[in-house]
Chain A
Amino acid sequence: MSSVPPFLIMLAGAAVVFALPGRLRGWAFLAAPAIVLAQLVFWLDHNSHLSVELAGLTLTLLEVNEFNEVWGTVFALVALGGGVFGLRLRDRVQRRCTALAYGGSAFGVLFAGDLLTIIVFWELMAVTSFLLIVNGGRPGSRAAAMRYLFVHVAGGAAFLGGILWHAGETGSFALEAFEATPAGWLALLGVLINAAGFPFHSWLSDAYPESSITGMVFLAYTTKTAVYVLLQLFPGWDVLVVAGTFTTLYASVYSLVQNDVRRIIAYQIISPVGFMTAEVGLGTAHALEGVAAHAFTHVLWQSLMVMGAGTVLYAAGTSKLTELGGLARPLRFVFVLYLVGAVSLAILHLQANVGSSLSDASGLALSLILAAAASVTILAVVVRIPYYVFFGEPRGLTLRSVPTSMYVAMAGAAAFSIAAAIEEGWLFSLFRLGIHAENIGLNSFAFGAQAALLAGVAGWFVLPWLRPRDGVVLDTDWFYRKAGPVVRRGLQVPLEAAFTACERGAAAAARELPRLAPSPARLALLGRPPVGVALAAILLTFAAVALLAWAVGG
């Protein structure tokens, strides 16, 4: 097992799930991430390696380092949690298979040892995540998935272009940090699109809420994989500090004006990813370890919050604040478990922002900006969502009963969240991860909780300004969503008209040609001319054509 790439296990899992009958699929789904998790904890180490030769190129499919084992472990945990969460849901087979294939392609990127392997799995990840969204079963799934595909094809093309340009200059596809050359900037653009960095972030808040209830749990992979690639290829790029800081602040404030719980959480995914991007930009060993620790814990808490919101959507049939209210009593366990994730996220976000890893390297100004974003996170996920969803005016909704498997998955994630919030080091040693977590512990928890509490109380006082309203909130996706109809009118419609005209012309010609020449079959049936004569005529024609070709060809 020490030389089997985790992506193979996940893809094999997808094939097995597809082949099995319906009632076994939910359980079979759990096998692949469980094996990968066991593989990461017990069998893979920094000596694990697998390369293959293909068309003169060496592709490294498995290479383990102290960072990708962190990402891999938490990805396997989330896949396992997502599998348990959706165990009793009557999910479509293609959703389960694409979730495993998507996880497999994310593992492919993480454990790749060269740029070529990364880009192959990067593109596969775009396709499988698109399938996960398009099969979301929500009214807006298809349109959102098409916009998602458009953005990710553009991002993938930029990344591929950057890699090929870089390989042309250096003659190597080795996995090493890029220089600040045009090739490096092009590749960075592609990766930043996947990392949802401003202004390329709006695909996430547009598409993720349109995925299925379980689908959104898995969709953590795209941004976190992009953060891993940023860490490998662009550590210490100053532009990432600026881009990440602005993204985290922008997304935090934007989450306050959203009406859909899953969209609020989507913005709260963008915000910490921006923070991790800023940490990568700092580039110090301390900051990079901070990125790994932050990515690990954030994926756990994010999935818990997404599961909470998904459970509300499953039970109530809607995730809009304007249509929800009074659910604290009927969904009391969901409320408590959701709150564990939200509070943990808020406290970690605050702790990490005021922690020494940032303030040492970049000074007080950056710490203040990022702490501001973290405080707004508290307002959005700890105050606003619980207030309107669980304590708002009851809407008389008829609630569906929530399957036990959903509670089990959320309880597991909540247990890990509490452990991580109080003693993250314990969690890392449990999974044998080699990174250090310095700024977490009881003392740090008290620090973060104290700061979070006052921000929460202030948030409660300003809630009347943040009354939810139904509608569309304009974001940077405005540019391509508004450009879409113009492009359609200017390019697609004339092209379609040209194709239609050609098609009509061909159909008309097919109708008219038989009138010009009588059917040979009919002629043969009438006895004029005999079959032998007709055959001779055909053979003579062939001979004439062959002679002509020979004469011209010389």
Chain B
Amino acid sequence: MITRMTELRERLERRGKWALPAAALAAAAVVEIALEILYETTAGDREGGLISTPLFWAAFGAVTVAAAAALAHLAVRAGLLRGRGYYGGDEEEEQVEEEERVER
């Protein structure tokens, strides 16, 4: 399965820059519709308008994810990420890690 997925991804990537994202969106849309049908067929009393629909929360989640990723990216660029020896006293740890890596 994993091999087939990798082959599919490579084939899509060869077709052009947007082929893979477009295929991913299409697949997601199909699954979303299937889940929506499952949700509708198992739903009890529906109240609350738009806010009670899964689609609202799905769209909200997508926007949030993009915003959080942008925030994390900006935080790193603003200097949140420092070198491994930042706190000092880590030289010994680095040495042990390096030795372990060489051993491996």
Contact = CB atoms under 8 A, between A and B. Distances in A.
B84 interface: yes
Interface residues of B, number: 54
Given A371-B60, A453-B32, A376 B68 contact: yes
Contact of A451 (B58, B75, B88, B90): B58
A52 interface: no
Interface in A375-393: 375-376, 378-379
Interface string A442-474: 110011011111110111111101100111111
A451 B58 CA distance: 4
A332 interface: yes
A400 to B, nearest CB: 9
A471 B84 contact: yes
A257 B65 contact: no
A443 B43 contact: yes
B58 A455 contact: yes
Interface string A24-67: 00000000000000000000000000000000000000000000
B64 A371 contact: yes
B72 A466 contact: yes
Contacts of A397: 104
Given A451-B61, A458-B62, A471 B68 contact: no
Interface in A421-451: 441-443, 446-447, 449-451
Interface residues of A, number: 56
Q: Is the interface of A mostly helix, strand, loop or mixed?
A: helix
User: Which among A329, A442, A447, A474 has the greatest number of chain B C-beta atoms within 10 A?
Assistant: A447
A454 B58 contact: yes
Contacts of A470: 84
B89 A450 contact: no
B61 A371 contact: yes
A471 B24 contact: no
Interface in B64-104: 64-66, 68-73, 75-76, 80-84, 86-90, 92-94, 96-97, 100-101, 104
Nearest to B21: A461
B32 to A, nearest CB: 6
Contacts of A455: 58, 61-62, 64-65
A465 B24 CA distance: 19
